[in-house]
Amino acid sequence: MTDMLISESDLPAGSLVSSQNTSPRGKVTADDAACQPLANALLFTSTSAGSPAATVNQVVIATGAGDGAISVRTALVAYRDPDAVLAIDGVQTAVKACAAGFTAALNGTRTRFTVAPDTRAGGGQQSTGVVLTDTVDGSRDSNDVWLVRRGDVVAYFVAEGINGGSVPLAAITVVTAPQVRKMS
């Protein structure tokens, strides 16, 4: 599946791609089981789907989006049929069920997240997006999380917003658009 990942030649000049394993380490647990798919999406996993058949991931630092450079953690996860659909359906259901927010613990550290649907996510055969915002040491951090499915592969994108705000559309699509095209 590594041949399906975007490379620097797919991005604006000056962009960088790190081929290191960028999956966050550890286990995340939401205080409400209905919110677990949202917590898992930050770690490129799904409790709504079965175990992945294969996973590859990387960090993309893209330039040329009009707002400076943006870092987007990306992963391609291959599922067995019909688990790719279930992975996205699970996040969509959790966005509705957890609109009031949720608390999750990653390696014992508890964090409260607000939840807002991100309707800008698109592409592929099925897609969904959510903005998960937390406050750590008085600083708001937002994570724009997009999932895009093409066939049995789900692309996970996690971009951190500036000053707690959503990532500008032009900035995130610099990464998502070529990645989704490369999945076909």
- The whole-number pLDDT of residue 107 equals 76
Who's near 183: CB < 8 A, 6+ residues apart?
A: 4, 76, 124, 148, 150, 151, 153, 155
Q: What is the pLDDT of residue 25?
A: 61
171-40-110-100 Cα dihedral, nearest 10 degrees: 80
CA pair distance 38, 22, nearest whole angstrom: 18
- Residue 3 DSSP one-character state: G
pLDDT at 20 (0 to 100): 64
Nearest to 121 by CA among 153, 151, 155, 81: 155
Nearest to 97, CA basis, from 183, 38, 20: 38
Rounded Cα gap, residues 65 and 177, in angstroms? 12
Q: What is the pairing mode between strands 28-30 and 54-62?
A: unpaired
Which strand ranges, in their side-by-side order, compose the sheet holding 126-136?
Answer: 16-18, 54-62, 70-78, 153-160, 139-150, 126-136, 109-117, 102-106, 28-30
| SS3 of residue 135 by DSSP | strand
**Helix runs in the chain, H state only:** 36-41, 83-97, 169-182
Residues of the chain with pLDDT under 50: none
Beta pairing, strands 153-160 & 102-106: unpaired
d(CA 123, CA 164): 25
For residue 101, the model assigns a pLDDT of 96
Q: Tell me: the pLDDT tens digits for 43-77?
A: 887 767 878 888 898 889 887 656 567 889 999 99
